[in-house]
Amino acid sequence: MGRMHLLSSIVNPATGQVEGYCIIKSVALKSNIKGSDYLDLVLYDAGGEINAKLWDYNAEQHGRYEPDSIIKVRASVNLWKETEQLKIDRIRNLKEDEEVDMDGLIPCAPRDPAQMYDTLYKRAEGFEDGDLRMLTQYLLREHKEDLLRWPAALKLHHAMRGGLLYHTHTMLRAAEALCDIYAPLYPALSRELVYAGVILHDIAKVPELRVGALGLATAYSVPGQLLGHISMGVSMIERAAAELMIDDGIKQLAQHILLSHHGQAEFGSPKPPMFPEAELVAQIDLLDSRMFEMFDALEPVQVGEFSERQWALDNRQLYKHGHA
């Protein structure tokens, strides 16, 4: 993520002190080696996230704070292990009669979630295979309200309000283009299986992530930690297929796409893709996640310079060439 918007709200250039509104992504009460309490927070706005510390914390003096709430802070910018960190000087919760620019606070998908959902649902509506159509639309309907705000991740790619739909919608567009290329070369390629796999591949991110009303993930759920979205997605298909009395063959093809969509065991896939449609879904998923990470990492970089090393991209530094 790029630098937070509040970091540009300099109120004292000499000290690097900043002030602004942001969202608490996570907060933990900790004690230092001297036994003094402090708050360890991750603060978030539309520009990204940053770690912050409130030293010598006293609940009566400083107030109490919860994840997914909006606060106003005044803080000093420090470097800790070559990473920017905030030392909070003043903090308070948002007042009831106080208005803030929510567009600047919440990172949101650049497309309307309702329109993206409708695109996915209508694509499934056109499936000639009745089992694939019922299965895909059933799971979309079941999770519609959550999908309209759910991010695709706690961090990394598409960790924004509506990010799960945005990731899936972009993948569907890529899948349509690639199927146009490969279907004539391999007439047995099932476009509908590819599209259904794309639409459902991350559907279990809904139970995997804890997401507040603002649409930001604050943590993994207990099942998310213990099972993960791949195995939960397979179970969701198993349950839906039983309720809809879907053919076992179709059910197993859909389940395999979910099991294999991370491509390799080292990336979390219990199985590698074992038919062309599964390979397409896995490659499109990898491509979309990596392109998002690249665009996001390069956004704050000046032309002719390199980004910081990107852990999610094999620890690469990325170059911003400026050639449009």
Residues 162 and 259 in one domain: yes
Is the per-residue pLDDT at 9 higher than 90?
no
pLDDT tens-digit series, residues 294-319: 998 898 899 999 998 988 888 999 99
Write down the pTM of the prediction: 0.79
- Find out whether 148 and 117 touch, Cβ atoms under 8 Å: yes
Is the per-residue pLDDT at 152 higher than 90?
yes
Is the per-residue pLDDT at 2 higher than 50?
no
Residues 57 and 134 in one domain: no
Is the per-residue pLDDT at 86 higher than 80?
yes
- What is the pLDDT at residue 1? 38
pLDDT band at residue 47 under the 50/70/90 scheme:
confident
Is the per-residue pLDDT at 11 higher than 70?
no
Domain extent, residue 281, equals 113-297
Residues 17 and 62 in one domain: yes
- What is the pLDDT at residue 81? 77
> How far is it, in rounded angstroms, from Cα 210 to Cα 43?
17
Residues 128 and 97 in one domain: no
Residues 219 and 268 in one domain: yes
> How far is it, in rounded angstroms, from Cα 270 to Cα 273?
10
CATH code at position 204: 1.10.3210
User: Has residue 270 been placed in a domain?
Assistant: yes
Share above pLDDT 90 across residues of the chain, in percent, rounded to a whole number: 69
Q: How many domains does the chain have?
A: 2
Is the per-residue pLDDT at 245 higher than 70?
yes
Is the per-residue pLDDT at 106 higher than 90?
no
Residues 175 and 258 in one domain: yes
What number of CA atoms fall less than 13 Å from residue 19's CA on the CB side?
9
Q: Which of 89, 105, 121 is the last residue of a domain?
A: 105
Cβ atoms < 10 Å from Cβ of 13: 7
